[in-house]
A and B are shown apart, each in its own frame.
Chain A
Amino acid sequence: MLKFFRTSRPDAQTDEQLLAAYLKSGDQRHLGILYERYMPMVYGVCLKIFKDVGKSEDAVMAIFEELTRKVREHQIESFRGWLYVLARNHCLMEWRKKQRRPTDHLAPEEMARFDNPETDPEFELPTDRPALEKCLEKLNDQQKTCVSMFYYDDFSYKEISEKLSLDLGMVRSFIQNGKRNLKICLESLK
Protein backbone atom coordinates (compact mmCIF):
# COMPACT_ATOMS: atom_id res chain seq x y z
CA MET A 1 0.00 0.00 0.00
CA LEU A 2 2.78 2.37 0.94
CA LYS A 3 4.60 1.55 -2.24
CA PHE A 4 1.52 2.35 -4.19
CA PHE A 5 1.24 5.83 -2.74
CA ARG A 6 4.89 6.45 -3.31
CA THR A 7 4.73 5.58 -6.98
CA SER A 8 1.60 7.61 -7.49
CA ARG A 9 3.31 10.98 -7.21
CA PRO A 10 6.54 10.69 -9.11
CA ASP A 11 5.94 14.00 -10.84
CA ALA A 12 7.42 15.78 -7.88
CA GLN A 13 10.73 13.98 -8.30
CA THR A 14 13.65 15.46 -10.15
CA ASP A 15 15.14 13.84 -13.23
CA GLU A 16 18.07 12.51 -11.28
CA GLN A 17 15.86 10.99 -8.57
CA LEU A 18 13.75 9.23 -11.17
CA LEU A 19 16.83 7.97 -12.94
CA ALA A 20 18.27 6.65 -9.71
CA ALA A 21 14.96 4.99 -8.92
CA TYR A 22 14.99 3.28 -12.29
CA LEU A 23 18.56 2.11 -11.95
CA LYS A 24 17.79 0.71 -8.54
CA SER A 25 14.48 -1.02 -9.25
CA GLY A 26 14.59 -1.59 -13.01
CA ASP A 27 10.97 -0.49 -13.13
CA GLN A 28 10.34 0.93 -16.60
CA ARG A 29 7.62 3.19 -15.28
CA HIS A 30 10.20 5.51 -13.73
CA LEU A 31 12.05 5.81 -16.98
CA GLY A 32 8.77 6.28 -18.80
CA ILE A 33 7.79 9.22 -16.63
CA LEU A 34 11.21 10.71 -17.08
CA TYR A 35 11.13 10.31 -20.84
CA GLU A 36 7.63 11.64 -21.14
CA ARG A 37 8.81 14.98 -19.73
CA TYR A 38 11.09 15.53 -22.67
CA MET A 39 9.12 13.65 -25.26
CA PRO A 40 7.71 16.70 -27.06
CA MET A 41 11.20 18.12 -27.35
CA VAL A 42 12.66 14.85 -28.59
CA TYR A 43 9.84 14.66 -31.09
CA GLY A 44 10.62 18.19 -32.25
CA VAL A 45 14.27 17.35 -32.76
CA CYS A 46 13.29 14.27 -34.76
CA LEU A 47 10.96 16.36 -36.90
CA LYS A 48 13.77 18.74 -37.63
CA ILE A 49 16.12 16.01 -38.74
CA PHE A 50 13.78 13.64 -40.55
CA LYS A 51 11.36 16.22 -41.92
CA ASP A 52 8.75 13.48 -41.75
CA VAL A 53 5.96 13.03 -39.22
CA GLY A 54 5.63 9.24 -39.33
CA LYS A 55 9.35 8.58 -39.11
CA SER A 56 9.67 11.00 -36.21
CA GLU A 57 6.95 9.23 -34.30
CA ASP A 58 8.67 5.89 -34.76
CA ALA A 59 11.99 7.44 -33.83
CA VAL A 60 10.57 8.75 -30.55
CA MET A 61 9.68 5.21 -29.56
CA ALA A 62 12.95 3.80 -30.85
CA ILE A 63 14.88 6.36 -28.82
CA PHE A 64 13.11 5.18 -25.71
CA GLU A 65 14.24 1.63 -26.49
CA GLU A 66 17.77 2.82 -26.96
CA LEU A 67 17.49 4.76 -23.75
CA THR A 68 16.57 1.68 -21.73
CA ARG A 69 19.58 -0.10 -23.17
CA LYS A 70 22.13 2.66 -22.81
CA VAL A 71 21.11 4.26 -19.58
CA ARG A 72 22.96 1.61 -17.60
CA GLU A 73 26.12 1.77 -19.65
CA HIS A 74 26.87 5.41 -19.00
CA GLN A 75 27.54 7.57 -16.04
CA ILE A 76 24.93 10.26 -16.53
CA GLU A 77 25.35 13.57 -14.85
CA SER A 78 22.67 15.60 -16.54
CA PHE A 79 19.93 13.42 -17.95
CA ARG A 80 18.52 16.20 -20.08
CA GLY A 81 21.75 16.97 -21.89
CA TRP A 82 22.54 13.31 -22.32
CA LEU A 83 19.09 12.61 -23.76
CA TYR A 84 19.48 15.46 -26.23
CA VAL A 85 22.73 14.01 -27.54
CA LEU A 86 21.30 10.51 -27.64
CA ALA A 87 18.17 11.58 -29.50
CA ARG A 88 20.06 13.71 -31.96
CA ASN A 89 22.60 11.01 -32.71
CA HIS A 90 19.92 8.40 -33.10
CA CYS A 91 18.04 10.49 -35.64
CA LEU A 92 21.17 11.42 -37.56
CA MET A 93 22.24 7.78 -37.72
CA GLU A 94 18.85 6.72 -39.00
CA TRP A 95 18.70 9.56 -41.44
CA ARG A 96 22.13 8.81 -42.85
CA LYS A 97 21.33 5.12 -43.11
CA LYS A 98 18.43 5.95 -45.38
CA GLN A 99 20.34 8.54 -47.40
CA ARG A 100 23.58 6.68 -47.85
CA ARG A 101 22.78 4.52 -50.83
CA PRO A 102 21.63 7.19 -53.27
CA THR A 103 23.75 10.08 -52.05
CA ASP A 104 26.84 8.65 -50.45
CA HIS A 105 29.15 11.38 -51.62
CA LEU A 106 27.05 14.06 -49.96
CA ALA A 107 28.10 13.11 -46.45
CA PRO A 108 30.08 16.29 -45.65
CA GLU A 109 27.22 18.50 -46.69
CA GLU A 110 24.84 16.54 -44.54
CA MET A 111 27.09 17.18 -41.63
CA ALA A 112 27.11 20.85 -42.39
CA ARG A 113 23.38 20.87 -42.64
CA PHE A 114 22.96 19.67 -39.10
CA ASP A 115 26.03 20.88 -37.34
CA ASN A 116 25.63 24.52 -38.29
CA PRO A 117 21.96 25.10 -37.89
CA GLU A 118 21.24 28.61 -38.93
CA THR A 119 20.23 30.47 -35.83
CA ASP A 120 16.82 31.97 -35.90
CA PRO A 121 17.47 35.61 -35.12
CA GLU A 122 14.87 37.23 -33.01
CA PHE A 123 12.15 38.53 -35.20
CA GLU A 124 11.04 41.99 -34.28
CA LEU A 125 8.86 44.19 -36.37
CA PRO A 126 11.34 46.75 -37.63
CA THR A 127 10.84 50.40 -36.89
CA ASP A 128 11.34 51.13 -40.55
CA ARG A 129 7.64 51.25 -41.23
CA PRO A 130 7.70 52.06 -44.97
CA ALA A 131 10.01 49.14 -45.75
CA LEU A 132 7.82 46.84 -43.76
CA GLU A 133 4.66 48.00 -45.51
CA LYS A 134 6.36 47.39 -48.81
CA CYS A 135 7.32 43.86 -47.88
CA LEU A 136 3.94 43.09 -46.37
CA GLU A 137 2.37 43.99 -49.67
CA LYS A 138 4.53 41.40 -51.37
CA LEU A 139 3.18 38.56 -49.25
CA ASN A 140 0.21 36.64 -50.51
CA ASP A 141 -3.16 37.63 -49.11
CA GLN A 142 -3.48 34.92 -46.52
CA GLN A 143 0.02 35.37 -45.15
CA LYS A 144 -0.46 39.11 -45.07
CA THR A 145 -3.71 38.89 -43.16
CA CYS A 146 -2.44 36.37 -40.66
CA VAL A 147 0.86 38.13 -40.02
CA SER A 148 -0.69 41.52 -39.51
CA MET A 149 -3.41 40.13 -37.28
CA PHE A 150 -0.81 38.36 -35.18
CA TYR A 151 1.71 41.21 -34.91
CA TYR A 152 -0.42 44.32 -35.10
CA ASP A 153 -3.71 43.28 -33.55
CA ASP A 154 -2.12 40.84 -31.09
CA PHE A 155 -4.59 38.04 -31.78
CA SER A 156 -3.79 34.48 -30.81
CA TYR A 157 -3.55 31.73 -33.44
CA LYS A 158 -6.88 30.38 -32.38
CA GLU A 159 -8.63 33.73 -32.61
CA ILE A 160 -7.27 34.24 -36.10
CA SER A 161 -8.36 30.79 -37.18
CA GLU A 162 -11.85 31.49 -35.85
CA LYS A 163 -12.10 34.92 -37.44
CA LEU A 164 -10.91 33.74 -40.85
CA SER A 165 -12.50 30.30 -40.46
CA LEU A 166 -9.20 28.71 -41.37
CA ASP A 167 -7.71 25.52 -40.00
CA LEU A 168 -5.45 26.18 -37.01
CA GLY A 169 -2.54 24.42 -38.66
CA MET A 170 -2.95 26.59 -41.73
CA VAL A 171 -2.82 29.75 -39.63
CA ARG A 172 0.35 28.58 -37.93
CA SER A 173 1.82 27.78 -41.28
CA PHE A 174 0.85 31.13 -42.86
CA ILE A 175 2.40 33.06 -40.02
CA GLN A 176 5.53 30.95 -40.11
CA ASN A 177 5.99 31.33 -43.84
CA GLY A 178 4.90 34.95 -43.90
CA LYS A 179 7.46 35.73 -41.25
CA ARG A 180 10.20 34.01 -43.21
CA ASN A 181 9.28 35.83 -46.41
CA LEU A 182 9.18 39.14 -44.58
CA LYS A 183 12.62 38.56 -43.18
CA ILE A 184 14.06 37.69 -46.57
CA CYS A 185 12.42 40.73 -48.11
CA LEU A 186 13.65 43.09 -45.40
CA GLU A 187 17.18 41.82 -45.67
CA SER A 188 17.21 42.34 -49.39
CA LEU A 189 16.11 45.94 -48.90
CA LYS A 190 18.94 46.78 -46.55
Chain B
Amino acid sequence: MSGPDDIAPPSDSSALAAEYVLGVLDAARRREVETRIARDRAFAREVAAWQVHFAPLIDEIEAVDPPLYVWPRIRSAVFGRGRRGGLFESIGFWRWLSAGAGGLAVAALAAVFVMSRPAPTPLPPAAAMVAKINLDDGRPAFLATIDLERGTMLVLPISAAIPADKVPELWLIPPGDVPHSLGVVDVSHPVSITIPPALRAVVGLKAAVAISVEPPGGSPTGQPTGPVIAKGGISAI
Protein backbone atom coordinates (compact mmCIF):
# COMPACT_ATOMS: atom_id res chain seq x y z
CA MET B 1 0.00 0.00 0.00
CA SER B 2 2.10 2.92 -1.10
CA GLY B 3 1.37 5.92 -3.19
CA PRO B 4 3.00 9.20 -4.01
CA ASP B 5 1.09 11.08 -1.34
CA ASP B 6 0.91 8.33 1.17
CA ILE B 7 1.54 10.35 4.29
CA ALA B 8 0.44 7.82 6.88
CA PRO B 9 3.01 5.16 7.70
CA PRO B 10 2.05 1.70 6.42
CA SER B 11 1.44 0.43 9.96
CA ASP B 12 -1.33 2.99 10.32
CA SER B 13 -3.89 0.63 8.94
CA SER B 14 -6.51 1.71 11.45
CA ALA B 15 -6.34 5.30 10.23
CA LEU B 16 -6.62 4.07 6.64
CA ALA B 17 -9.66 1.97 7.57
CA ALA B 18 -11.21 5.03 9.21
CA GLU B 19 -10.46 7.20 6.18
CA TYR B 20 -12.20 4.63 4.00
CA VAL B 21 -15.28 4.54 6.24
CA LEU B 22 -15.40 8.34 6.49
CA GLY B 23 -15.26 8.60 2.70
CA VAL B 24 -12.34 11.03 2.32
CA LEU B 25 -10.36 8.88 -0.13
CA ASP B 26 -10.40 9.30 -3.89
CA ALA B 27 -11.67 6.59 -6.23
CA ALA B 28 -8.29 4.96 -6.87
CA ARG B 29 -7.42 4.79 -3.19
CA ARG B 30 -10.88 3.37 -2.40
CA ARG B 31 -10.28 0.53 -4.87
CA GLU B 32 -6.90 -0.20 -3.22
CA VAL B 33 -8.53 -0.30 0.19
CA GLU B 34 -11.29 -2.60 -1.06
CA THR B 35 -8.72 -4.98 -2.50
CA ARG B 36 -7.03 -5.02 0.90
CA ILE B 37 -10.36 -5.61 2.68
CA ALA B 38 -10.87 -8.66 0.47
CA ARG B 39 -7.42 -10.07 1.28
CA ASP B 40 -6.63 -8.98 4.80
CA ARG B 41 -9.06 -10.17 7.47
CA ALA B 42 -7.56 -8.11 10.26
CA PHE B 43 -7.90 -5.00 8.14
CA ALA B 44 -11.49 -5.93 7.21
CA ARG B 45 -12.21 -6.12 10.95
CA GLU B 46 -10.74 -2.64 11.43
CA VAL B 47 -13.09 -1.32 8.75
CA ALA B 48 -16.08 -3.04 10.37
CA ALA B 49 -15.08 -1.64 13.77
CA TRP B 50 -14.96 1.91 12.40
CA GLN B 51 -18.37 1.45 10.80
CA VAL B 52 -19.75 0.58 14.21
CA HIS B 53 -17.83 3.44 15.87
CA PHE B 54 -19.35 5.99 13.50
CA ALA B 55 -22.82 4.40 13.45
CA PRO B 56 -24.26 6.80 16.06
CA LEU B 57 -23.84 9.64 13.55
CA ILE B 58 -26.42 7.89 11.36
CA ASP B 59 -29.07 9.08 13.82
CA GLU B 60 -28.31 12.65 12.85
CA ILE B 61 -29.06 12.10 9.16
CA GLU B 62 -32.57 13.14 8.27
CA ALA B 63 -34.75 10.41 6.77
CA VAL B 64 -36.32 11.40 3.44
CA ASP B 65 -39.07 9.38 1.78
CA PRO B 66 -37.97 8.28 -1.68
CA PRO B 67 -40.42 8.89 -4.57
CA LEU B 68 -43.08 6.21 -4.94
CA TYR B 69 -41.80 5.02 -8.33
CA VAL B 70 -38.49 3.85 -6.87
CA TRP B 71 -39.88 0.69 -5.24
CA PRO B 72 -41.46 -0.72 -8.45
CA ARG B 73 -38.17 -0.01 -10.21
CA ILE B 74 -36.24 -1.93 -7.56
CA ARG B 75 -38.75 -4.77 -7.57
CA SER B 76 -38.49 -5.25 -11.31
CA ALA B 77 -34.71 -4.92 -11.25
CA VAL B 78 -34.44 -7.57 -8.56
CA PHE B 79 -37.23 -9.97 -9.48
CA GLY B 80 -37.28 -9.39 -13.23
CA ARG B 81 -39.92 -7.83 -15.37
CA GLY B 82 -41.56 -11.12 -16.39
CA ARG B 83 -45.05 -11.51 -14.96
CA ARG B 84 -45.95 -14.70 -13.14
CA GLY B 85 -46.70 -17.35 -15.73
CA GLY B 86 -44.83 -15.38 -18.36
CA LEU B 87 -42.49 -16.79 -20.95
CA PHE B 88 -39.43 -16.86 -18.72
CA GLU B 89 -41.22 -18.96 -16.14
CA SER B 90 -42.61 -21.45 -18.64
CA ILE B 91 -40.97 -24.86 -18.34
CA GLY B 92 -41.56 -25.49 -22.05
CA PHE B 93 -39.57 -22.42 -22.91
CA TRP B 94 -36.65 -23.61 -20.80
CA ARG B 95 -36.74 -27.09 -22.30
CA TRP B 96 -36.80 -25.60 -25.76
CA LEU B 97 -33.99 -23.28 -24.86
CA SER B 98 -31.78 -26.01 -23.41
CA ALA B 99 -32.49 -28.33 -26.32
CA GLY B 100 -31.49 -25.74 -28.86
CA ALA B 101 -28.85 -24.00 -26.81
CA GLY B 102 -26.24 -22.61 -29.10
CA GLY B 103 -26.16 -19.86 -31.65
CA LEU B 104 -29.81 -20.28 -32.56
CA ALA B 105 -30.95 -20.10 -28.96
CA VAL B 106 -28.86 -17.03 -28.32
CA ALA B 107 -30.34 -15.23 -31.29
CA ALA B 108 -33.86 -16.30 -30.33
CA LEU B 109 -33.29 -15.33 -26.75
CA ALA B 110 -32.04 -11.93 -27.74
CA ALA B 111 -35.13 -11.45 -29.85
CA VAL B 112 -37.36 -12.52 -26.98
CA PHE B 113 -35.57 -10.21 -24.63
CA VAL B 114 -35.95 -7.23 -26.92
CA MET B 115 -39.60 -8.08 -27.67
CA SER B 116 -40.46 -8.47 -24.01
CA ARG B 117 -39.36 -4.94 -23.21
CA PRO B 118 -42.38 -2.75 -22.52
CA ALA B 119 -40.92 0.31 -24.23
CA PRO B 120 -41.94 0.65 -27.88
CA THR B 121 -38.60 2.14 -28.94
CA PRO B 122 -36.25 -0.51 -30.32
CA LEU B 123 -32.78 -0.71 -28.82
CA PRO B 124 -29.93 0.68 -30.83
CA PRO B 125 -27.80 -2.35 -31.76
CA ALA B 126 -24.77 -1.30 -29.73
CA ALA B 127 -26.78 -1.07 -26.53
CA ALA B 128 -27.58 -4.78 -26.38
CA MET B 129 -25.01 -7.51 -25.92
CA VAL B 130 -25.05 -11.13 -24.96
CA ALA B 131 -22.69 -13.29 -22.93
CA LYS B 132 -22.50 -17.03 -23.41
CA ILE B 133 -21.16 -18.52 -20.21
CA ASN B 134 -20.02 -22.05 -21.01
CA LEU B 135 -18.88 -25.04 -19.01
CA ASP B 136 -15.38 -26.34 -19.70
CA ASP B 137 -16.75 -28.88 -22.18
CA GLY B 138 -18.33 -26.08 -24.19
CA ARG B 139 -21.92 -26.66 -23.14
CA PRO B 140 -23.72 -23.45 -22.16
CA ALA B 141 -24.27 -23.04 -18.42
CA PHE B 142 -25.84 -19.57 -18.46
CA LEU B 143 -26.81 -16.99 -21.02
CA ALA B 144 -26.86 -13.33 -20.17
CA THR B 145 -28.37 -10.49 -22.13
CA ILE B 146 -26.97 -7.08 -21.34
CA ASP B 147 -28.99 -3.91 -21.69
CA LEU B 148 -26.47 -1.10 -21.60
CA GLU B 149 -29.14 1.55 -21.86
CA ARG B 150 -30.66 0.51 -18.55
CA GLY B 151 -27.45 -0.87 -17.10
CA THR B 152 -29.07 -4.24 -16.47
CA MET B 153 -28.24 -7.81 -17.24
CA LEU B 154 -30.68 -10.72 -17.42
CA VAL B 155 -28.96 -13.98 -16.51
CA LEU B 156 -30.66 -17.16 -17.62
CA PRO B 157 -29.60 -20.58 -16.36
CA ILE B 158 -29.31 -23.25 -19.04
CA SER B 159 -27.62 -26.31 -17.61
CA ALA B 160 -25.67 -25.39 -14.52
CA ALA B 161 -25.41 -27.82 -11.64
CA ILE B 162 -23.86 -26.87 -8.35
CA PRO B 163 -24.01 -28.35 -4.82
CA ALA B 164 -27.29 -27.66 -3.02
CA ASP B 165 -25.60 -25.68 -0.26
CA LYS B 166 -23.80 -23.36 -2.67
CA VAL B 167 -24.80 -20.53 -4.97
CA PRO B 168 -23.47 -19.41 -8.35
CA GLU B 169 -21.94 -15.93 -8.40
CA LEU B 170 -21.43 -13.94 -11.58
CA TRP B 171 -18.21 -12.01 -12.16
CA LEU B 172 -17.20 -9.42 -14.70
CA ILE B 173 -13.52 -9.41 -15.58
CA PRO B 174 -12.39 -6.35 -17.54
CA PRO B 175 -9.15 -6.90 -19.50
CA GLY B 176 -6.16 -6.79 -17.15
CA ASP B 177 -8.34 -6.36 -14.09
CA VAL B 178 -9.50 -8.50 -11.17
CA PRO B 179 -13.02 -9.99 -11.15
CA HIS B 180 -15.82 -7.69 -10.01
CA SER B 181 -18.91 -9.31 -8.56
CA LEU B 182 -22.17 -8.72 -10.40
CA GLY B 183 -24.07 -10.62 -7.74
CA VAL B 184 -25.45 -14.03 -7.01
CA VAL B 185 -27.48 -15.70 -9.76
CA ASP B 186 -29.68 -18.76 -9.70
CA VAL B 187 -29.49 -22.19 -11.36
CA SER B 188 -33.25 -22.49 -11.78
CA HIS B 189 -34.57 -18.98 -12.34
CA PRO B 190 -33.61 -15.99 -14.46
CA VAL B 191 -32.10 -13.19 -12.40
CA SER B 192 -32.01 -9.54 -13.38
CA ILE B 193 -28.89 -7.72 -12.27
CA THR B 194 -28.21 -4.01 -12.08
CA ILE B 195 -24.69 -3.38 -13.29
CA PRO B 196 -23.01 -0.98 -10.85
CA PRO B 197 -22.41 2.39 -12.57
CA ALA B 198 -18.68 2.12 -11.99
CA LEU B 199 -18.64 -1.09 -14.05
CA ARG B 200 -20.96 -0.03 -16.88
CA ALA B 201 -18.12 1.56 -18.80
CA VAL B 202 -16.10 -1.66 -18.82
CA VAL B 203 -18.89 -4.00 -19.88
CA GLY B 204 -17.77 -4.48 -23.43
CA LEU B 205 -16.58 -6.87 -26.03
CA LYS B 206 -13.19 -7.25 -24.37
CA ALA B 207 -14.51 -8.13 -20.94
CA ALA B 208 -15.01 -11.70 -19.77
CA VAL B 209 -17.67 -13.11 -17.49
CA ALA B 210 -17.41 -16.10 -15.20
CA ILE B 211 -19.46 -18.07 -12.71
CA SER B 212 -17.92 -19.29 -9.47
CA VAL B 213 -19.38 -21.55 -6.79
CA GLU B 214 -19.80 -19.63 -3.53
CA PRO B 215 -21.35 -20.00 -0.08
CA PRO B 216 -24.96 -18.75 0.29
CA GLY B 217 -25.09 -14.99 -0.06
CA GLY B 218 -22.05 -14.91 -2.30
CA SER B 219 -18.32 -14.63 -1.83
CA PRO B 220 -17.53 -13.21 1.60
CA THR B 221 -14.28 -11.68 0.36
CA GLY B 222 -15.33 -9.76 -2.76
CA GLN B 223 -13.26 -12.13 -4.92
CA PRO B 224 -14.16 -15.64 -6.11
CA THR B 225 -13.49 -18.17 -3.34
CA GLY B 226 -14.85 -21.34 -4.97
CA PRO B 227 -14.14 -23.05 -8.30
CA VAL B 228 -14.96 -21.23 -11.54
CA ILE B 229 -17.38 -23.59 -13.30
CA ALA B 230 -18.19 -21.56 -16.40
CA LYS B 231 -16.86 -18.61 -18.33
CA GLY B 232 -17.29 -16.77 -21.57
CA GLY B 233 -16.96 -13.60 -23.54
CA ILE B 234 -19.37 -10.86 -24.51
CA SER B 235 -20.63 -10.34 -28.03
CA ALA B 236 -22.91 -7.85 -29.72
CA ILE B 237 -26.39 -9.01 -30.68
Q: Do A and B bind each other?
A: no
Task: Give me the interface of B with A, judged by CB distance under 8 Å.
Answer: none
